[in-house]
Amino acid sequence: MALSNIEKHYNKHPEDLRLLRRHGIVEFETTMYHLRRFLKPGYRLLDIGAGTGRYTSALMAEGYEVKAVELVRRNIDVFLKREPTADVVQGDARHMPFVPTASADVTLLLGPLYHLIGDDEKLKALKEAKRVTKPGGLIFVAYLMNEYSILSYCFDEDRIGGLLDRGVVDQNFHIQAQADELYDYVRLEDINRLDENAGLERVTIFSPDGASDYMRTRLNRMSDETFAHFIAYQKSISERADLIGAGSHVVDVVRA
């Protein structure tokens, strides 16, 4: 069976290493900070698109029962090598008949929507996450942000002119992902539209990484003390409305 674009990507670019680099640590620590705000002892968690299980492992270590779902076989193998007792199954975020309805107190959807192109595909995953989450439970949904890609790839790599000419970037500088592409980038108005169409109510929305992806080399040069201050800074400003959307990711916390 031919590998999908997603499988080819994660076979080549190990996800396990990304969250161990400093820009990834900022994202991980800020997301965990917000998860801890809402989690309660005894909660059952579902981690959809678990990757190599960094969040699942951390939450298991804090005493939570976590079921993980991951599409890419290589990621599952890395995950189980590190966490052999984990409950992880291979599956697609858009269709998980093996997960009972209303079985999770909190659901993580921290990766699948990066790769699902267009509203229709994203809504399949959002509605499936809503189905498996208890009524009133929370879903943490991560997105890739349009402006990060525009600044980092289109301008920094001096490709903007050709992309505008081909219509890959529209006249409002919104990237128009094609069906066979790996990533789909959104703006806040896109996320708001998806929430409305999926029947999801926002509790909060935060930027897990802020400026960190723009500052990778600078983060690596920081002393441990300064880097600890940077993580504290990102946690403190992560919900600021004037900054959300400028980083590479946001996490939308919504109620099922």
pLDDT in tens, 117-145: 999 999 999 999 999 999 999 999 999 99
| pLDDT tens, residue by residue, 139-168 | 999 999 999 999 999 999 999 999 999 999
CATH assignment of the domain containing 135: 3.40.50.150
pLDDT of residue 1: 46
pLDDT of residue 143: 98
Q: Show Cβ contacts of residue 170 under 8 Å, excluding neighbours closer than 6 positions.
A: 176
CA separation for the pair 229, 54 (Å, rounded):
23
pLDDT of residue 18: 67
Q: Which residues of the chain have pLDDT under 50?
A: 1
Rg (Cα) of the chain, in Å, rounded?
18
Total tally of structural domains belonging to the chain: 1
CA separation for the pair 66, 68 (Å, rounded):
6
Domain that holds residue 227: 5-255
Each as own residue / partner, the long-range contacts of residues 79-83 (CB below 8 Å, 24 or more positions apart, any chain) are 79/50, 79/51, 79/52, 79/53, 82/16, 82/52, 82/53, 82/57, 83/53, 83/56, 83/57
